[in-house]
């Protein structure tokens, strides 16, 4: 019975090791961009650190843009 217990422990350790190796590294993880959300079509433009002007913050968020600030209509004009 002791031998069976040792074999069971080895099998469990092997199963856990294979399971841990199948978890993707962060660089291999599936990207969540663009995010699957719906945005309204209101005009409230923002410009983001990637230099793209989005019609509103929701579209920028959906595209995973960062460093967004208001653009035009009294907001800063970045060149």
For residue range 45-67, what is the model confidence (pLDDT) as tens digits? 999 999 999 999 999 999 999 99
What are the pLDDT digits (tens) for 27-43? 555 678 999 999 999 99
Asked if residue 76 belongs to a domain, the reply is no
pLDDT score of 73: 66
- Report the number of distinct structural domains present in the chain: 1
Asked if residue 78 belongs to a domain, the reply is no
The verdict on pTM exceeding 0.95 is: no
Asked if residue 75 belongs to a domain, the reply is no
- Residues whose CB falls within 8 Å of the CB of residue 54, separated by 6 or more in sequence, listed in order: 45, 46, 47, 48, 60, 63, 65, 68
**What is the residue range of 19's domain?**
2-70
């Amino acid at each position: 019975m002791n031998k069976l217990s040792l074999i069971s422990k080895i099998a469990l350790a092997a199963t856990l090791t294979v399971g841990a190796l199948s978890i993707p590294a962060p660089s291999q993880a599936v990207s969540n961009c663009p995010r699957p959300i719906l945005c309204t079509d209101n005009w409230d433009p923002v410009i983001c650190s990637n230099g793209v002007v989005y019609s509103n913050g929701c579209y920028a968020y959906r595209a995973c843009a960062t460093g967004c600030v208001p653009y035009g209509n009294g907001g800063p004009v970045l060149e």
